[in-house]
Structure 1
Amino acid sequence: MKKLTYEQSRRNSARRRRKVEARHRQAGHWGERPQPMLTSQKINYEIGGNVEATPYGGLFAMHRLVTRLGLASAIDASVELLKLHLPYHESDHVLTLAYSVLTGGTRLQDIDRLRNDVPLMNGLGARLLPDPTTVGDFLRRFTETDIVALMDAINSVRPQLWTGRGADLLSEVAYVDVDGTIVPTTGQLKQGMDISYKGIWGYAPLLVTLANTREVLYLVNRPGNAPSHLGAVGWIDRAITLVAPYAKRVCVRGDTDFALTTNFDRWAEQVDFVLGTDNIAALRTRAEALPDTAWQPLHRPTAHPNTTGTTRARRPNRKQQVIRERAFLNLRLNHEDVAEFTYQPKKCRRAYRVVVLRKNISRAKGEAVLLDEIRYFFYFTTYPADTHPPAQIVELANERCDQENIHGQLKSGLGALHAPVDDLYSNWAYMLIAALAWNIKAWHALMMHHKHDRHAFIRMEFKRFLDTVIRVPAMILVRARGIVVRLLAYTVNLDRFFSAWATTERVRFGYG
Structure 2
Amino acid sequence: MRVSHSFSAEFDDDNLIAAGGLVPVMLLAESAGLSDLVDAHITLAGSAGANAQVKVGALVGGMVAGADSISDMDLVRHGGMGRAFSELRAPTTLGTHLRGYKFGHVRQLDAIASRLLAALAARVPALVSGVDEMAYVDLDDTIRETHGYAKQGAGYGYSGVKGLNALVATLSTPTAAPVIAGIRLRKGSVKSPRGAGKMIAEALAAARRAGAGGMVTVRADSAFYQHDVVAAVRRGGAHFSITARMDAAVVAAISRIPEEAWVGIKYPEAIWDEDEQRWVSDADVAEIHYTAFTSRKKDDHTSARLIVRRVKRLNPRSVPQGQGEMFNVYRHHAVFTDSPLSMLQAEAAHRDHAIIEQVIADLKNGPLAHMPSAVFTANSAWTVLAAIAFNLTRAAGVLASRFHAKARMATIRAQLIAVPARIANRARTWLLHLPRNWPWQQAWDELFETASGQLTAAT
TM-score, normalised on structure 1?
0.78
Does the aligned pair in 1 maintain the 2:239–2:337 contact within 8 Å? yes
**Structure 1 residue 211, shift from structure 2 partner:** 2.6
Does the aligned pair in 2 maintain the 1:183–1:203 contact within 8 Å? yes
* Alignment equivalent of 1:466, drawn from 406, 413, 416: 413
Does the aligned pair in 2 maintain the 1:360–1:372 contact within 8 Å? no
State yes or no: 1:488 paired with 2:443: no
2: CA distance, partners of 1:481 / 1:156: 36
Does the aligned pair in 1 maintain the 2:33–2:116 contact within 8 Å? yes
State yes or no: 1:260 paired with 2:226: yes
Q: Give the root-mean-square deviation of aligned CA atoms.
A: 2.8
Q: Which residues in structure 2 correspond to 1:110-509 (within 5 Å)?
A: 110-115=72-77, 117-126=78-87, 129-166=88-125, 168-212=129-173, 213-244=177-208, 246-247=211-212, 248-262=214-228, 264=230, 267-268=233-234, 270-302=237-269, 336-345=283-292, 346=294, 348=300, 351-363=303-315, 373-384=329-340, 388-412=341-365, 414-448=366-400, 453-454=401-402, 456-477=403-424, 483-507=430-454
Does the aligned pair in 1 maintain the 2:217–2:241 contact within 8 Å? yes
Secondary structure in 1 aligned to 2:431?
strand
Distance 1:479 1:39, change over 3 A: closer
1: CA distance, partners of 2:41 / 2:251: 50
2: CA distance, partners of 1:402 / 1:373: 29
**Structure 1 residue 354, shift from structure 2 partner:** 1.2
- The letter for the 2-side match of 1:103 is A
**Structure 1 residue 179, shift from structure 2 partner:** 0.4
**Structure 1 residue 218, shift from structure 2 partner:** 1.4
Deviation readout 1:231-267 (Å, 9 max, x if unpaired): 0100101111221251212111110122232453563
Partner residue in 1 for 2:321: none
Q: How many pairs were matched up?
A: 433
Of the two, which has the highest radius of gyration?
A: 1
2: CA distance, partners of 1:439 / 1:273: 24
Does the aligned pair in 2 maintain the 1:195–1:225 contact within 8 Å? yes
Deviation readout 1:109-147 (Å, 9 max, x if unpaired): 1122322x2411211133xx2222221111111111111
Does the aligned pair in 2 maintain the 1:277–1:380 contact within 8 Å? yes
TM-score, normalised on structure 2?
0.86
Distance 1:84 1:334, change over 3 A: closer
2: CA distance, partners of 1:470 / 1:487: 12
2: CA distance, partners of 1:330 / 1:397: 19
**Structure 1 residue 418, shift from structure 2 partner:** 2.3
Question: Which segments of 5 or more consecutive residues in structure 1 lack a partner in the other structure?
Answer: 1-36, 305-328, 366-370
Secondary structure in 1 aligned to 2:307?
strand
- The letter for the 1-side match of 2:334 is F
Deviation readout 1:165-213 (Å, 9 max, x if unpaired): 3253423212111101001111212121111133211111101111344
Deviation readout 1:43-70 (Å, 9 max, x if unpaired): 3445667x72111111101111111111
- The letter for the 2-side match of 1:267 is V
**Structure 1 residue 285, shift from structure 2 partner:** 1.0
1: CA distance, partners of 2:5 / 2:369: 44
1: CA distance, partners of 2:10 / 2:369: 39
Partner residue in 1 for 2:65: 103
Partner residue in 1 for 2:53: 91
Moved more, 213-222 or 265-274: 265-274
Does the aligned pair in 2 maintain the 1:194–1:203 contact within 8 Å? yes
Question: Which segments of 5 or more consecutive residues in structure 2 lack a partner in the other structure?
Answer: 318-326
Distance 1:199 1:72, change over 3 A: same
Between structures 1 and 2, the one with greater strand share? 2
2: CA distance, partners of 1:462 / 1:253: 23
Does the aligned pair in 2 maintain the 1:343–1:351 contact within 8 Å? yes
Deviation readout 1:464-504 (Å, 9 max, x if unpaired): 22221112121223689754323234422211121122222
Distance 1:479 1:83, change over 3 A: farther
**Structure 1 residue 425, shift from structure 2 partner:** 1.2
Tell me the percent identity. 24
